[in-house]
Amino acid sequence: MPETTPLHIAVLAAGKGTRMRSRLPKVLQSLAGRPLLDHVLQRVAPLEADALHVVVSHEQERVRAAFAEHVPALDWIDQGEPRGTGHAVYQALQHIPDHARVLVTYGDVPRIPVADLEACARGTGVTVLAAQVPDPTGYGRLILDPAGQLERIVEHKEATSGERAVDLINTGVLAAPAGDLRGWLASCEPDPAGPREWYLTDIVAVARGQGRVIDVVRSSDPVAVLGVNDREQLAVQERLHQAEQCSRMMRDGLAVADPARLDVRGVLKFGHDCSIDVNVVIEGTVTLADDVYIGPGCVLRDCEIGSGTQVAAHSVLEGVRIGEGANVGPFARLRPGTELGPGARVGNFVEIKNATLGPGAKANHLTYVGDASVGAGANLGAGTITCNYDGANKHRTEIGERAFIGSNTALVAPIRIGDDATVGAGSTLSDDVDPRALALTRARPRVIQDWPRPKKKSD
């Protein structure tokens, strides 16, 4: 291929995805937290194509909207009423110059190996990506001549039983010179009013009839190229994706208790000697510094966690920044806007939202801290509640350094508790407390000695 031959990639994504039985277009179904089409676009990116065409039809507004910000910009092609893969490629060819090389791939093959795409793009004639699979049911079969050259592709439903025994299948990925492809496709268009779809695969026999030799590239990963048609296949690809990703992270030094029980649906960055226990889900971007431990059953979304911090079992953290050497959980819920200083401790059944805990501050049990700042070394006793919401607006609570809040206390915001102040257990406070003062609201107990308990009346 001369240096000047431009490469155009056409991603076919117009199918309905009926077998998913979903209201969501298939290419928007999620694999590792991102749409299938996003994975495909990531896989084609290293080829640095001169243009990226995406053929859409069904629910195309939703698909286009999901990728409106994509860089490089995508050339959306409306297929209209989909009439088959040949029709889809023919529509894309309206936007592709004859001297370009076209690489066709599918929007529902999210783990297509980059090496396979590159092998097809490199050729100069017609190149078909094939895979040898144990169960070829449903796929187009590659029919070779006695010399081992590709003669034609027959679709499963049109194949004879002898042809169905062939286990070399068409993955659907194909590359060819644009001008040739346009001509071949035009010559195999079926009657638009007829029942037969317009098959891209029919061009093989046409090209061969013109004396062309078709290159067959065998996929480096026959499982990945099978793609996703239903939810079971989606789950298979998800597991394979997670396993691959986990191997990579372990090679980079992450300790993972069980690679089959860690799901990263986003990006996990980590320093030295971080360790992740079983059944952990990571979403968005999560950054762990050195020596961080994440306990079993934790869910972390968009978090930054400082060195030496331990997050114990079944804690759920979202939009959180934690300093060094902090302890969280078990059973803690940290919501967006939570910042914990170094050495802070947050224990079981504690919920924190839009609040800062200073260095060494503690909320060890059964506490709600919302819209608050808690000074360094302060201690919130069990059952401390910041009453931040008056039914209409949210208000802030400010708790000073080394303040001590006794158990079962309601702090009605807006309120300030000064440095070194103490609040007695069981108090409900709505006025500020000065530094070093003791505040408590506690009814004096009434004690009646030798009180005669009521007795059950006899009938």
Catalytic residues: 365
Q: Say whether residue 367 binds ligand UD1 (CB under 6 A).
A: no
434: which residues sit within 8 A by CB, 6+ positions away?
418, 421
Write out the two tokens for 325: 């050497």
Alpha-carbon distances of 124 from 69, 101, 145, 212, 214, rounded to whole Å: 33, 8, 22, 11, 10
As a three-state string, the secondary structure of 41-65 is HHHHHHHCCCEEEEEECCCHHHHHH
How many residues interact with ligand UD1 (rule CB under 6 A)?
27
DSSP conformation class of 201: G
Question: Among residues 164 and 335, whose Cβ is nearest to ligand UD1?
Answer: 164
State which residue has the least CB distance to ligand UD1.
140
By CB under 6 A, residue 88 contacts ligand UD1: yes
What minimum distance in Å lies between the beta carbon of 234 and ligand UD1? 14
What residues from 247 to 276 belong to the interface with ligand UD1 (CB under 6 A)?
A: none
Tokens 């902090």 correspond to 326
227 binding ligand UD1? (CB under 6 A):
yes
Judged by CB under 6 A, the chain residues 157 through 216 that form the site for ligand UD1 are 169-172, 199-201
Residue number, 201 or 338, with CB nearest to ligand UD1: 201
Is there binding between residue 379 and ligand UD1 (CB under 6 A)? no
Residues 398-427 that bind ligand UD1 (CB under 6 A): none
Q: Which is nearer to ligand UD1, 40 or 423 (CB)?
A: 40
For position 121 contacting ligand UD1 by CB under 6 A, the verdict is no
Q: For residues 201 and 309, which CB has a smaller minimum distance to ligand UD1 in the complex?
A: 201
In terms of DSSP bridges, do strands 51-56 and 7-12 run parallel, antiparallel, or are they unpaired?
parallel
Among 99, 93, 117, CA closest to 44 = 117
14 binds ligand UD1 (CB under 6 A): yes
Q: Are 128 and 216 in contact (CB under 8 A)?
A: yes
* Whether the Cβ atoms of residue 410 and residue 390 lie closer than 8 Å to each other: no
Kindly provide the residue ranges of all beta strands, DSSP E only, lying in 58-201, ordered along the sequence: 75-78, 101-106, 126-132, 141-144, 150-154, 168-177
Which lies closer to ligand UD1 via its Cβ, residue 14 or residue 120? 14
To the nearest whole angstrom, how small is the minimum distance from the Cβ of residue 211 to ligand UD1? 23
Region of 307 please: left (phi>0), alpha (psi -120 to 50) or beta. beta
* Minimum separation from the CB atom of position 67 to ligand UD1 (A): 15
Stretches 79-87, 93-101, 315-323, 346-354: which one binds ligand UD1 (CB under 6 A)? 79-87
Q: How far apart are CA 356 and CA 308, in angstroms?
A: 19
**Considering only residues 29, 41, 51, 85, which one is a binding residue for ligand UD1 as defined by CB under 6 A?**
85
Query: Tokens 């994504």 map to which residue?
Result: 13
Candidates 12-20, 216-224, 291-299, 428-436; binding stretch for ligand UD1 (CB under 6 A): 12-20
Q: Which residues would be at the binding site for ligand UD1 (CB under 6 A)? A: 12-15, 55, 79, 82-85, 87-88, 106-108, 139-140, 153, 155, 169-172, 199-201, 227
